[in-house]
A = this chain, B = another copy of it.
Amino acid sequence: MKLGEIADALGLPLEGEAALEIRSLAGLDDAGPGELSFAGGARYQKQFEASRASAFLLPPGFDALGRSCLRSSAPYVDFTRAIELFLPDVAFEPGVHPTAVIAPDAVLGEGVSVGAFSVIGARTRIGAGTRIHPHVVVYPDCEIGPDCEIHSGTHLRARVRLGSRVIVHNGAVLGSEGFGFAFGKGGRVRVPHRSGVEIDDDVEIGANTTIDASHPGHPRRGRATAATHVGRGVKIDNQVQVAHGCSLGEHTTLCAQVGLAGRTSVGKGVFFAGQSATSGDLHVADGTAVLGMSGVMSDTEPGAKLVGVPVMPRALFFRILAASKRLPDLLKRVARVEKRLGIAGPLE
């Protein structure tokens, strides 16, 4: 592809050689001749200068030093658009595969695709343009909005509702029964979790993630049912566990292997780094950031930066960590002081 063609395809102004042949994309450090790279801002100046790329996506005002570039107000966003040019998504087989088993009373919108061996349960409704890959199982009474993409190996249990443009990666399980038991005479009795899961628009759910269904005894938080709820624009990575009765506010982020225990209420724009977790029945306020491997055991303040098990403010955690490395010596120092003072014997 010529640089000029890329400029046209992305709709960006070109400075330099339009006829330059670009064969692939790479970061500044890795790029070589014939490759297009990008620099997000002034802090990449040195890497830019050392880069062997043939052309760059650069923000306005970034000195191109006479090298060929496309000007972009968001170089990384435009770099990801360029990925679509060089590495297009594999074509998705449109239509309903003849092997798919679709309940007679399921309702498929216009242009819905269903891949080989997928199973669509009774009364389930699927919105226009949604793409169901092969080997997806949708239990009865689900509702899937338009323009969703459901990858192979996904399982939607009964009463799961997805909004528009939801992406679910392979092996995710939505709506499995929450881990709740009542204690009866004969021991533990399963509590039927039949309130389902509600996923709002523009949510993405990672591979092998599990989001459990809720039951009517769990809090509704102002919604019509006690369904486990994932708000608009939430992004969930792989192998995350969201237990029964949780609620996630808009644009919250759960990194890989996070675990939210039952009835965790999470605000908007919250960030959970990898392997962090909550114990149940608590509220994580808007804008909270929980660092990796940290455990939230009580309500948080808006915007708090937290770390540790249980979590504490980040600054305190690292102050204690630094001090703890001096602790073995401190024990000796206190013993020296006591010796000097002639203090001995047990504490009262």
Contacts and interface: CB of A to CB of B under 8 A. Distances in A.
Contact of A239 (B116, B241, B295, B321): B241
A260 to B, nearest CB: 9
Interface string A281-320: 0000000000011010000000000000110100010011
B207 A210 contact: yes
Nearest to A291: B279
A214 to B, nearest CB: 11
Given A74-B184, A87-B192, A316-B325, 9 more contacts: A84-B192, A88-B194, A208-B210, A239-B241, A241-B274, A293-B293, A293-B309, A312-B325, A334-B337
A246 to B, nearest CB: 12
Name A's interface SS: loop
Interface of A: 24-27, 29-30, 38, 74, 76-77, 79-80, 83-84, 86-91, 97, 99, 101, 115-117, 119, 121-122, 133-135, 137, 139-141, 151-153, 155, 157-158, 167, 169-171, 173, 176-177, 179, 181-185, 187-192, 194-195, 204, 206-208, 210, 212, 215-220, 226, 233, 235, 237-239, 241, 243, 251, 255-257, 259, 261, 273-275, 277, 279, 292-293, 295, 309-310, 312, 316, 319-334, 336-338, 340-341, 343, 347
B275 A208 contact: no
Given A77-B189, A217-B27, A139 B169 contact: no
A20 B65 CA distance: 81
A157 B155 CA distance: 17
Given A101-B134, A171-B155, A195 B77 contact: no
A170 B155 contact: yes
A137 to B, nearest CB: 4
A45 B233 CA distance: 39
Contacts of A170: 137, 155, 157, 173, 176
Nearest to A261: B274
A321 B331 CA distance: 13
10 contacts: A74-B185, A77-B184, A90-B158, A91-B140, A99-B99, A119-B134, A171-B171, A187-B251, A239-B241, A337-B341
B341 A329 contact: no
Nearest to A136: B135
B176 A27 contact: no
A256 B241 contact: yes
A26 B220 contact: yes
Contacts of A208: 171, 173, 208, 210, 239
Nearest to A254: B179
